[in-house]
Each structure stands twice: as structure tokens, then as C-alpha cells.
Amino acid sequence: MRPPLLAPTSLLTGVASILTLLFVPSCPATAADDALEEIVVTARKRAENLQTVPDSVTAFSTAEITERRLTQINDFLALTPNVHLVNDQDPATNIISIRGIGSNRNEAAAVAFAVDGVILPDSDAFTTDLSDAQQVEVLKGPQGALYGKGAIAGAINITTFRPGPTLDSEMKASGSTGSTERFTGRVSGPLVSGQLAGSLTATYFSTDGTIINDFDGRGLDYEKHYKTAARLIWTPLDGLTIDWRGSYYHQRGSALWFSRVDALGTTGGEITSSMSAVRPDLNGPHSSKRTIGETATVISYETSLGTLSSISAYDDIKVDFREDLDQTSIASVPDAHQTRSTKGFSEELRLSSPDQQPLRYIVGAYFQHTRRDVVTNATLDYCYFGIPVPGPCTNQFLTLSGNAIPTPLNSTAGHTTQYAGFGQINYDIVQNLELTAALRYDRVNAEQLDLLSSATDAASFDKVQPKGSLAYKITPTVMTYATYSEGFKSGTFNPPPLPGSPYPLIVQNESSRNYEIGAKTQWLDRTVQVNAALFHTDYRNPQIFQLDVQSGGQVTINARKVRIQGGELDVLARVAARVDLNASFGLTDSRIRDFDGSGLYLGQPLPNMPRSQLNLGAAYHAALSERLTFKMRADYFRTGSISFQDFQNDADPDHYLHQLAYSTIDAQVGLEGNHWSLTAFGRNLGDRHYATSAYSRYIASFIFVPLGVDLIQKDPGRIVGAELRYHF
């Protein structure tokens, strides 16, 4: 039996102290002016110092976002230990995993994604441009007590630029490999002195792509998008604030590219670097279009009891993509076409007590209504699959007839209505000891019309999600904590099953229980920061993506039990006035305890989550003159082994696609003036090839088993470029 990963709080504090001494063994004390930046987060729905929040939170400030040129959620998550993102199928389809818990196609997200307090209704809107982001927070572990259903793995909190009383503007332009161009402009400031302020951000992005299609020599990861975002803050009366935000995003790009390799037949499933270097070769369409329109209004009023807030939001998300489903240069499935449309309205009412009192509370209610329609069609050459059809070919397996037939696949129209009530209290038991207790109840009423059979199904999913923590300050800069939390992801529907199908009509809730201890510490006049956490999670009924061989449709099943253990370590150090060092490490050890009661897949890890992640970074800056500063930065990333098990091969369950650890290096160098900066940058400078996603031949055995190939999504390769920024 493996020893548990949990350890006493005192051990955590000791480990943190030792790591600090090892990391900066001879670092001289520096002035308080060189202290690390204090970051204020809203993880618990109120403004707090990051170092006082008893949760594992990775936060990116405005300064870090600017320095590292972070523009989309992929950039942020790549720097966050125990978090991983896989782009799959089309630009809108993404798998975000936190500490091993994630989602997949057709499933609701396992992460709550909030923008200025508004939780987005669908993961199709997660991977857009974030040029208007002022701060990003990634919360790890179940956050259902405040963020509700869908926060079973954690939450991502985005804060956009808030206009202030002074004029502020900025322009950025960059170019990089693949004929990539990005232009961003932002302006904010007062419109009516003392009452009304506004901001406007506009971004344009274009790339020809760096993943080349062997069939035609063109980039498969091509993309063009633009986004406009505006925000107005009006204070018509003392204590009353009306905060409106709106944005529109339009994207055109590619969809679904995989390379064909024989991993299971040659290495037993290990994806090697040479396999990841194989370029796709497909002749069918690969295009996508996505538009997202969103608007939200937050009305806040200060009362004697606290701040009363109303948060109203509407989102309209549309996705339209075509793909070469067989991923070959032959025309067995010459076209597949899917449209997805999500419209969501939400309203939240919340009362938050003043911050400066021993007993602080939040109470609220939440409502969301979402409509999601999905229509999927494909054009199939049935003769290739040995299916008799009228025409020149009858039952000739693996033989093309040229008689491709349009075929409707699973298409649905769905409605969900969510109701929730929640509350949280923070109580200072004594000066250095804080108790947090939170509770939320969510109920989701879901209805789905299957457009092919005209069958309508309905189900309800609900759960109480508690959270509790104790945080103790040993000194003003050393805090330890222990937290217990629960989360859930609501169930869903499969297409009406055919007779004898093993797939259920209704897919059950997921749930998680998380136990965590941690320490947040600062040393040497706050020039060194060491945060650490250990966790144990019991994960029940994980939803697993499958392809139904009988119908050809995409379905979901529930596994039973998974145990997850691991930890995180983050170190920041300002070892001199000109040098900053950072290190982060995450370990996620997930093990399937019971998949379906049969003994299959026991002990295997969950897919799409590296076992470990290590990031080491160093930044240096030196004043060349009163108006000119030289800057440089280097980052080393090591991504541990990762499983791409798709659970479709019952006959040989221990052979599945996986990738061993690999390393990449990023670097940048630049000059900065009083109002401008010029930066040259490189990503994956060693041009290390690795798989970003993969499926075994058994995911669609009727196509890929006869061909003897598995599907690998390759990396974008080495990227080099430059950015010019001017701040007015």
C-alpha cells in the first residue's frame, strides 16, 4: 500500500522553512522597498491578501501578465502547477484538469470560469482572448460552496480592467513564427468627473499556423480573431455603483488535426518524440467559426448590514465547425459538420458584510437558465466500412465507392435551470485563528430533446456542497491551514440507447471530497515567499467520454471511484534588487479504485493530467540609464508522464497511449523605457516534440483498427517573435 501523502501542519511549516534556506542560502537581507508584490484576490468573494486565503491559489497580477505577455487561458494554466489544458476537436472544445479532475467532449466543465463575478454558462467560451484581463486567479480543489455546480475541480477567476479616475491607455503589437500577428489597444479613464468612468479594449490576431498538413503544405492551426470589450462604472449616488461590462469575440480557424502513428503496435502505447513530430495528412475540411457575445451588470449598494449586490448576465455562444473525421487522405468520412449554440441568463443576489469586523459573512441566491442546441451530421462512404448500400459497391470492406451519403448523427436541444442558495462566514476566534464555514445547495433541472428520435427526457441533479477551514497565523507572515471541501458536476444525457447498448440514457452526477493542509509563508522582509499544500481527494462517478460503435455517436459513462493525492509548492525570491527567482512544483497521483465493478483499469491514472509539473524561472533587470532598463527572463518547464487512456479497449486494458516526461525552455530579452518596451521572445527553444492530445485506435475502431494507427495531436513547435508595447 502506498503511504498517504498527507502530513501534519507542523511538518509543512518546517519543510517550507528548509526549502527557503536551501533556495537562497546566502541571500543578503534586502530593503523593504524590494519586497515582493502584494496580491489582493477575490477567491472568497471579497478582497483579501493572497497570503491570508486558506486555499491553494495561483494568482497573476497585472505586472506579471504584462511581463510574460499572457493573452489566453492556456498561457496562465501552463504556469500553474497541477493544472493542465488540452485543446481538442475544435478551438472551443477544451479539457481543463485541476489536480486530475477534468471534463471531455459533450460534458459540462469541471471548472467554474468566472469573469468579473459572472460564471460562464458553457466551456465553449473558456478559451477566448484575455487581452482585457487585469488579474487571473486559479483556485484548486472543490469550490462548490461559493461557485456552485461545475466547480468540482476548482475555479478560474478573471478580473477585467477597471476604469479609474485618471486617463490610462496602452498599445501592443507583436509578430512571431507562422506569420502570426497580434495588435491590442486599450484606453480607460473618466467620462464624467467623479461619476462615470469607462474603458475600451480591442484586439486583432492572425496566424497561418505552424502545424503543417502534409496533404497540401498549409498550416492546420491557422486562426483569425478579434475581440472588443467595454466597461462602464457609474456612481450616481454615494454608496451606489453600477458596473456594466460587454464584449464580442469573433474567431475563424481550423478544427481537429491528428497525426497517424502506430504507438500501440510498436512501443506498447508510449508516444515518443519522433512520433510527435509526424505531421498530419488529411484531405477533408478542417474549419471552425466561433462567436461569443456577453453582457453583465453588477449593481452594488452599501447598507448598514454590508454591500448588497445584484449580478445579471447574458451570454450567447455559437460554434460551427467542419472536420475530416477519418483523419486520413482518403475519403471514407469526407466531411463531418457540427453546430453548437448556447444561450445563458443568470442572476445572483448577494449580501456581503463589511471586511473589517471579527465576524464576516456572505449570503446569496443564484439562478441560471441555459439553452444548448447541438446538431451533428457526417458524410460517410458506407462501402469502406463493409456496409451494403445501393450503388457501385456492395459489402466490399475497406473499398471506397465514391458514393458518400449524408448521415445525421446525435443531435439534441437541451434546457437547464439552476437554482442555488449559499452562505459563508469567516470568524476570528482569536486574533491569529480564523474559522471559515460555507455551504451551498444547487439544484439543476435538465431537459433534452433528441432531434433524431423526437424523444424528450428530463432529470434533476442536486447536491449540498460544504466547505470548512481553519487558518492559524504562527507569525504575521507565516500561516498554516486545514481545509475540507466538496464539489459536484451535474449529470447529463446520452442519445437514446439502441437495444443492447451498454450506455445509459442518464449519466449521473460527479462528486468530490477534498482534504487539504497547507502553509503560506514570507521571509526576509517579504523578499522570499514559500507556499505549500498537500491534498487527498475522493472522486466519485467521474464522467468518461466514449464512442458508441453501434451508433457512431459520442456518449458518456460513469466510472465509480478514483483516489487522488498530491501537493503543490511555490517559491518566489527576490535575491537581489535586480534578480527574481521562481520555482513551482505540482504532483498529482490519481488511481482508479473501481471503474465498473469488473476489475478493469484498476490502478491506472486518470487521463489528460501530467503526474508532475516543474517550473524554474529567473528574471533579471538592470538600469542602463535613468530612462532605459535592460530585462531578460528564462523559464524551464518539465512536464511529467501523462496518460491518454480512452477506456475503449476492454480486451487489452493495460496497453494505452501515454507519454513520458519531457522538458521545454522559454526565454525573452528586451529593453524598457519610461513609456515603452521592446521584447524578443522564444517558446520551446529546443523545438522539443510532444503530444498535446491523443486517442487510441479503439476510440473509433471501425476506422482506425483496420488501418493499424493511433491518433496524436502534435505540438506547435518552436515559436520566436517580438513585441512592442507603448503605455501612454
pLDDT tens digit sequence for 649-682: 988 999 999 999 999 999 999 999 999 999 999 9
Q: In what order do the strands lie in the sheet containing 133-140?
A: 57-60, 133-140, 154-160, 111-115, 118-119
- The burial of 630, by beta-carbon neighbours within 10 Å (0-12 exposed, 13-18 middle, 19 or more buried), is given as middle
Give the pLDDT confidence of 569-585 residue by residue, as tens digits. 999 999 988 999 999 99
Distance CA 203, CA 144 (A): 33
Residue-number span of the structural domain to which 194 is assigned: 9-160+188-727
**How do 579-594 and 307-323 pair as beta strands?**
unpaired
CA 510, CA 503: separation in Å to the nearest integer?
17
pLDDT digits (tens, 9 = 90+) for 108-146: 899 999 999 999 999 999 999 999 999 999 999 999 999
- Predicted confidence (pLDDT) per residue in 463-512, tens digit: 999 999 999 999 999 999 999 999 999 999 988 888 888 889 999 999 99
Report if residue 2 sits inside a domain. Answer: no
Q: Is the pTM of this model over 0.85?
A: yes
pLDDT at 4 over 60: no
- Check if the beta carbon of residue 120 is closer than 8 Å to that of residue 126: yes
Domains contained in the chain, number = 1
Task: Identify the pLDDT of residue 28.
Answer: 41
Confidence bin at 13 (pLDDT 50/70/90): very low
Query: What is the C-alpha separation between 434 and 423, in angstroms, rounded?
Result: 17
Looking at residue 181, its pLDDT comes to 98
Helix or strand run (H / E) with residue 391: none
Q: Is residue 111 part of a domain?
A: yes
Provide the pLDDT confidence category of residue 284 given band limits of 50, 70 and 90.
confident
**Residue 595 in domain:** yes
Is 85 among the domain residues? yes
pLDDT (0 to 100) of residue 31: 46
Residue 186 confidence (pLDDT)? 97
| Separation of alpha carbons 145 and 439, rounded Å | 5
Identify whether 177 is part of a domain. Answer: no
User: Residue 364 is which amino acid?
Assistant: G
114/676 Cα distance (integer angstroms): 31
Task: Check which CATH number belongs to the domain holding 416 and give it.
Answer: 2.40.170.20
Q: Is residue 354 part of a domain?
A: yes
- The number of beta carbons lying within 10 Å of the beta carbon of residue 597 is 7
Asked if residue 375 is part of any domain, the answer here is yes
Report the share of the chain in percent with pLDDT over 90.
79
Question: How far is it, in rounded angstroms, from Cα 641 to Cα 84?
Answer: 12
Q: What is the pLDDT of residues 54-81, one digit of tens each?
A: 999 999 999 999 999 999 999 999 999 9
Lowest-confidence segment of 28-42, 111-125, 312-326, 482-496 by average pLDDT:
28-42
Distance CA 545, CA 713 (A): 18
| Whole-number Å distance between alpha carbons of 615 and 166 | 37
Rounded Cα distance, 110 and 541, in Å: 13
pLDDT of res. 392: 66
- Cell numbers given for 421: 442558495
pLDDT band at 396 (very low <50, low <70, confident <90, very high): low
Name the phi and psi angles at 540, rounded to 5. -115, 140
Mean pLDDT of the chain: 91
Q: What values do phi and psi take at 145, rounded to 5?
A: -60, -30
Residue 525, domain member (yes or no)? yes
Span of 20-29, 106-115, 418-427, 702-711 with lowest mean pLDDT: 20-29
Q: Is the pLDDT of residue 196 over 90?
A: yes
Examine the pLDDT at 201 and tell me if it is beyond 90. yes
pLDDT at 20: 38
- Work out the angle at residue 339's Cα, subtended by the Cα atoms of residues 372 and 118, and round it to the nearest 5 degrees: 40
CA angle 388, 331, 268 (to 5 degrees): 95
- Between CA 640 and CA 445 the distance in angstroms is 40
